[in-house]
Amino acid sequence: MSFVEYGDTIKDGDTAIVFLGHESMFPVKVQHGTVTQTKYGVIRHSTDLIGKKYGSKVTCSKGGWVFILHPTPELWTMNLPHRTQILYSTDISIITMMLELKPGSIVCESGTGSGSLSHALIRTVAPTGHLYTVEFHQQRAEKAREEFREHGVEHLVTVTNQDVCKNGFGVSNVADAVFLDIPSPWEAIGHAKSALKAEGGRICSFSPCIEQVQRTCLAMEEYGFTEINTLEILLRVYNVRTISLQIPDLGKAAEDNSSAGFDSSNPSNQGSPCANLQQGAVQFKSGVPLREMVGHTGYLTFATKS
């Protein structure tokens, strides 16, 4: 199993996603002799998972069932254990595009955090690219190494435990792109410039506060970056539901119905528009935004090395 290569069969040691519903799923490490409890009953790894195909429908001990999905960066972002605040698909998608990433790209990242963006970057630059990720916190760095190894992507990523603001990324003049998600990104702009290739490399800084953005933009100008641009991505989700609205009585419809001999008791007329007009209301499908939704996550500042 690898997050960048699809495998058909569930194997011992794989990370799989147990899918109970769109709002309910969780990761599980498949191990011989282990069981996983769900609200539908027990899943026995040895008999229910190992050797089965990804996407299989598995019946639990209580008679309910779940799907077992192959892990992807998108599913991992939704289910990973949170060691820090993470980036979600909304911001990740624009980051990978605006940094102009592709297979073979070399990317530097700080900090690693919970590895949400890291997995997406690895999948984007695979199979010949590489991610150099720096994490200040030692335990988080060790946990990230362990996860990358378990997910079959350790050959595509190098995890370094150090302070990027003082010691940089550990590479020079090789990166196609640099991503910063740290409290004081302006202190790392010089190291980012040193890590980027000689000309044309891209940089992105993620900051939740506009004061951080202002200081970062000033530092980018000081180090000669061009095309500095800050944006914010907001996700707005819609629910599709059936609503009923009253039809205004303008008089003419009622007269037309009576003159045409319209019979509302006739079953053949019950579903017609005229029947709805006779009842004074009509039902239809409508998209309605959620009353509560994720608002501001952070500002994304992009620039190009001149």
Token look-up 């946990």 returns 143
Q: What is the number of residues in the chain?
A: 306
Examine the domain organization and report whether 212 and 126 are in the same domain: yes
Q: How far is CA 291 from CA 89, 155, 218, 245, in A?
A: 21, 44, 38, 20
Look up the domain containing 168 and give its range.
75-234+295-305
Q: What is the CATH number of the domain that holds 19?
A: 3.10.330.20
Nearest to 87 by CA among 212, 167, 179: 179
Q: What is the pLDDT of residues 51-91, one digit of tens each?
A: 999 999 999 999 899 999 999 999 999 999 999 999 999 99
Contact present, 4 and 156 (Cβ < 8 Å): yes
Examine the domain organization and report whether 33 and 180 are in the same domain: no
The dihedrals phi and psi of 211, each to the nearest 5 degrees, come to -65, -35
Q: What percent of the chain has pLDDT over 90?
A: 74
What's the token pair of residue 90? 């909304």
Alpha-carbon dihedral 297, 226, 98, 207, rounded to 10 degrees: -10
CA distance 164 to 189: 10
Residue 240 lies in a domain: no
Q: What is the CATH number of the domain that holds 191?
A: 3.40.50.150
Residue 251 lies in a domain: no
Ramachandran quadrant class, 193 (left: phi over 0; alpha: psi -120 to 50; beta: rest): alpha
CA distance 302 to 217: 9
User: What mean pLDDT comes out for the span 250-269?
Assistant: 56
Helix (H) or strand (E) holding 284: strand 281-289
pLDDT at residue 238, rounded to an integer? 87
Q: Which residues, including other chains, have CB under 8 Å from residue 72's CB and lie 6 or more apart?
A: 3, 123
User: In this model, does residue 26 exceed pLDDT 80?
Assistant: yes
> CB 1: neighbour CB atoms within 10 A?
19
Residue 290 lies in a domain: no
The dihedrals phi and psi of 74, each to the nearest 5 degrees, come to -65, -45
Angle between helices 116-125 and 138-150 (to 10 degrees): 40
Binding residues: 114-117, 135, 163, 181
Binding residues for S-adenosyl-L-methionine: 114-117, 135, 163, 181
Examine the domain organization and report whether 107 and 148 are in the same domain: yes
46-68 burial code (b ≥16 CB/10 A, e <16): eebbbebebebebebeeeeebeb
Residue 264 lies in a domain: no
Instruction: For the chain, give the longest Cα–Cα distance.
Output: 87
Examine the domain organization and report whether 230 and 162 are in the same domain: yes
- 3-class DSSP assignment, residue 301: strand
Contact present, 195 and 108 (Cβ < 8 Å): yes
Q: What is the 3-state secondary structure (H, E, C) of 101-156?
A: CCCCCEEEEECCCCCHHHHHHHHHHCCCCEEEEEECCHHHHHHHHHHHHHCCCHHH
Q: What is the pLDDT of residues 101-128, one digit of tens each?
A: 999 999 999 999 999 999 999 999 999 9
Examine the domain organization and report whether 87 and 37 are in the same domain: no
- DSSP secondary structure letter of residue 168: -
CA distance 140 to 258: 76
Examine the domain organization and report whether 96 and 59 are in the same domain: no
Residue 60 lies in a domain: yes
User: In this model, does residue 258 exceed pLDDT 60?
Assistant: no
Residue ending a domain, choose from 28, 44, 71: 71
198 confidence band (pLDDT: 50, 70, 90): confident
Residue ending a domain, choose from 17, 40, 71: 71
Residue 182 lies in a domain: yes
User: In this model, does residue 263 exceed pLDDT 80?
Assistant: no
Q: How many domains, the chain?
A: 2
Judged by average pLDDT, the poorest of 96-100, 235-239, 249-253 is 249-253
User: What mean pLDDT comes out for the span 27-49?
Assistant: 95
Residue 270 lies in a domain: no
Residue 246 lies in a domain: no
Residue ending a domain, choose from 71, 103, 124: 71
